[in-house]
Amino acid sequence: MKMKLNKTIYYTMMLLLFIIVSQIFILNGLAQQLQISSNTQPQAVDYLQRAVNKMQEALDTYQGANYPGRKLWSEAIDYAQQALYIDPNFIEANYYLALMYQHTNWYFREAEQWEKYLDLIEGTDLSSTSPQAQQNLAHAYYRLGYNSYQKGDYEQSLTYFLNSIKEYPDLIDSNYWAARVFYETEDLEKSLFYWERVLNLDPNYPRAQYFYDKIQASIKHGKQAYNLYEQGYNYYESRNFNQAIDSYREAIRLNPKFAEAYYWQARVYFETGDYQQAIQNYRKVLEIEPDNAKADYWLKESQRQLGTKQ
C-alpha cells in the first residue's frame, strides 16, 4: 500500500513538473511565434497571443467583412487591450492592436495606435537588432503615410512613406504610394524611380507597369498633355468622337510635337469620314516621325478614300 502511494505521489509530482515545464515552453513558444522583444510580464504575452489567435480566426471567418463590432474582432481587441492594461509599454501589443484597428477599418483609432507604437519603438534599438521589429516599424510608417494621404496631406504622407522605405526597402506598398505621391506632386523623375522599384520587387504588381509607362510618357510629352491624350483615347474607345477630338486638340496645343496625339486624332477623323483632316494629321505625324510606317499607310489610305469619295 505504501509503495502504491509513493508511486502515485511520484507520478503526480512528475505530472505537475511536466505541466510547469510545458507552460514554460509554451510561453517561450508564444514569444518566439510573435517574436516578443519587449521585457514584459508573461500574462501580458498570454493575452496578446489570445488576441492574435482571435485576429487570425476573425480574418479566416469573416473573409474581408471586418468591423470592430463583430464577435471575434471584439474579442481580439479586448484581449490586446488587456495586455496593454497589464503593460502599457508592451511594444508588440501596441503593434497588434493597431493592426486590428487597421483590419476593422477603425481609421481614427488605428492612426492613434500607430503613433503610440512609434513613440515606444523609436526610444529603443529594436529596429536595428530585430528584423521583424524593423518590418513592423516600416509597416507602421506605411499606415500612417496612407492615413495622411487619405486626408490630402501629401507632404506628411511622403515623409512617412520614405521613412518606411528607409526601415525596410522591400515593403512594396510604401514604394507604390511614394511613387503615387511624387507623381501627384509633379516630381515625375522620383515617381519613375519608385515605380521602377515596385516593378523590381514584383513585376506583376497590379497596374505598376501601366503607371511606369505613363510616367515615362508624361516625362516625354508633359504630364497634362499626356493626361489629355489618354482621355482622348478613352473617348475614342467609347465612340465619343467629338470629345476625343477636343482632348487630342488640347494635348497638341500643349505639346505641338506630340506625334501620338496627331496620329489618334487622324484616326478619329478617318473613322468619321473626314479624310481631309485625317490627311493633315497623318502628315503632321510624318513631319515629327518620318519613319512612322503606320502613319504612312493610313495617310495613303486616307488619300485613297478621299479620291473615292470625290
pLDDT digits (tens, 9 = 90+) for 221-261: 999 999 999 999 999 999 999 999 999 999 999 999 999 99
For the cut 70, the answer to whether the pLDDT of residue 100 exceeds it is yes
The fraction of the chain above a pLDDT of 90, given in percent, is: 78
State the Cα–Cα distance between residues 30 and 22, nearest whole angstrom.
12
pLDDT digits (tens, 9 = 90+) for 187-213: 999 999 999 999 999 999 999 999 999
pLDDT at 92: 93
Q: Which three cell numbers stand for residue 115?
A: 503613433
Domains of the chain: 222-310 (1.25.40.10)
Average of per-residue pLDDT across 157-176: 96
Contacts of 137 (CB under 8 A, 6+ apart): 118, 121, 126, 127, 167, 168
pLDDT at 122: 84
- Find the helix packing angle between 172-184 and 154-167, rounded to 10°: 150
pLDDT at 129: 73
For the cut 80, the answer to whether the pLDDT of residue 14 exceeds it is no
For the cut 60, the answer to whether the pLDDT of residue 42 exceeds it is yes
Share the mean pLDDT of the chain.
88
pLDDT at 18: 38
Query: Which range, 4-13, 121-130, 131-140, is most confident?
Result: 131-140
